[in-house]
């Protein structure tokens, strides 16, 4: 069993930056982790994913070049640095972990086994 707790969300003005964190209980250092987001009335959207060593990263097209995913395995924490935010980035951001170490499609929510409760990010124009 893995528990994930997101933090760091909040209100930021367009063009600003924000970093959200996801702290994991249990031994997650060898697991791939990811961030997804869901805006009101929209489907859950892939944001970014990172391999357990941190050497492989994937980004959704809408955040590529603006967001950076990273992890600190000693702290069992994954981060999402979000830069040049726009109102379209407003959503609840969820972190997720894959514990079976078999990922075919890193962008698919179905690949991930445990999810956090989410943290709200609101970008004002």
User: Residue 38 corresponds to which tokens in the numbers above?
Assistant: 């869901």
Kindly state the average pLDDT of the residues 76-103: 95
pLDDT of 119 over the 70 cut: yes
CB 101 within 8 A of CB 31: yes
Q: What are phi and psi of 90, to 5 degrees?
A: -65, 125
Q: What is the pLDDT of residues 5-44, one digit of tens each?
A: 999 999 999 999 999 999 999 766 689 999 999 999 999 9
CA angle (84 as vertex; 81, 85 as ends), nearest 5: 80
Tokens 């063009």, residue located: 15
Residue 57: CA atoms inside 13 Å, Cβ hemisphere, count?
Answer: 18
Q: What is the pLDDT of residues 43-89, one digit of tens each?
A: 999 999 999 999 999 999 999 999 999 999 999 999 999 999 999 99
- Please give the radius of gyration of the chain, using alpha carbons only, rounded to the nearest integer: 13
pLDDT at 28: 65
């Amino acid at each position: 069993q893995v528990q994930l707790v997101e933090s760091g969300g909040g209100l930021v003005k367009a063009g600003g930056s924000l970093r959200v964190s996801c702290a994991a209980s249990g031994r997650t250092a060898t697991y791939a982790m990811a961030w997804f987001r869901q805006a009101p009335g929209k489907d859950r959207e892939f944001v970014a994913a990172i391999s357990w060593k941190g050497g492989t990263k994937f980004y959704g097209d809408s955040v590529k070049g603006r967001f950076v995913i990273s992890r600190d395995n000693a702290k069992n924490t994954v981060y999402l640095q979000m830069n040049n935010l726009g109102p379209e980035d407003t959503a609840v951001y969820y972190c997720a972990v894959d514990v079976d170490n078999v990922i075919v499609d890193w962008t698919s929510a179905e690949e991930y086994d445990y999810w956090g409760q989410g943290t709200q990010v609101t970008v004002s124009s």
